[in-house]
Amino acid sequence: MGTGRAHQSTSSTAFWAGRLLLMALAVFVVTHAVWAYPKPRTVPTRWELEFVPGVLRLYTDVSSGRSYWYFTYEVVNTTGEDQLWFPSFTLYTDGGEILDSGDDVPYSITRKIRDYVGSDYMLVHSDVIGTLRQGRGHAREGLVIWPANQLDLTELSLFIGGISGERATVVNPLNGDRISLQKTMQRNYLVPGNLVPRSDRPIELDPDNPEQWIFR
């Protein structure tokens, strides 16, 4: 009987020692992954377009009752050579939505919002893609639209890619695949209260973390 209890005690000790070792390894892996994840440098290492963000607003179509987010911007090529302007605009909501620009947005809504904004030179996402020539005389104004399926939100994040040629490569620790990441602008917004009575007032940026560069 004494030998059995001793054996059980030894097994239990080994079990918990193994558990502690696995926990320590997990902490090391997670910490190492955070340390190893690249961050853009303060000074750009590749070409970077001059991007002037406008505001993010909510538009509600009277005839259908549906709402849409829309965002305006201006982009200028001051890099010294012509660049391909192929931007991506992805909106994340704290309701779990990941929205790509232009998806599920009828052309009639695009036309209404462009007329509402009142700029004949403003291009929608599908029309803005192409070679961006150098100089302010070739600056482009853009309009980006997403469906606003959820209005009971408190936070939004907008990820804008294509502004910079800077990239970084990371290795997926699960399968060893190499993943190419693009330098991306992240803008964070707060949505206090009910969105419906706000009309089209600008959505406020998060005062504590309004904008940052990340690799994505």
In this structure, whether the domain defined by 50-215 belongs to CATH 1.10.10 is answered with no
Instruction: Give pTM, 2 decimals.
Output: 0.81
Residues 176, 89, 38, 44: is their CA dihedral positive or negative? positive
Predicted confidence at residue 198, as pLDDT, reads: 67
Residue ranges of the alpha helices (H) in 99-153? Answer: 107-117, 125-128
Residue 41 CA to residue 52 CA, distance in Å, equals 20
Predicted confidence at residue 118, as pLDDT, reads: 87
Predicted confidence at residue 89, as pLDDT, reads: 97
pLDDT digits (tens, 9 = 90+) for 150-163: 888 999 999 999 99
pLDDT digits (tens, 9 = 90+) for 92-103: 999 999 999 988
Write out the two tokens for 161: 């890619």
Predicted confidence at residue 27, as pLDDT, reads: 45
| More reliable by pLDDT, 175 or 160 | 160
Q: Residue with structure tokens 């549906």?
A: 66
pLDDT digits (tens, 9 = 90+) for 197-207: 667 889 999 99
Mean pLDDT of the chain: 85
Residue 77 CA to residue 90 CA, distance in Å, equals 22
Predicted confidence at residue 126, as pLDDT, reads: 79
Predicted confidence at residue 28, as pLDDT, reads: 41
pLDDT digits (tens, 9 = 90+) for 12-69: 555 455 555 445 444 444 444 444 678 898 888 899 999 999 999 999 999 999 999 9
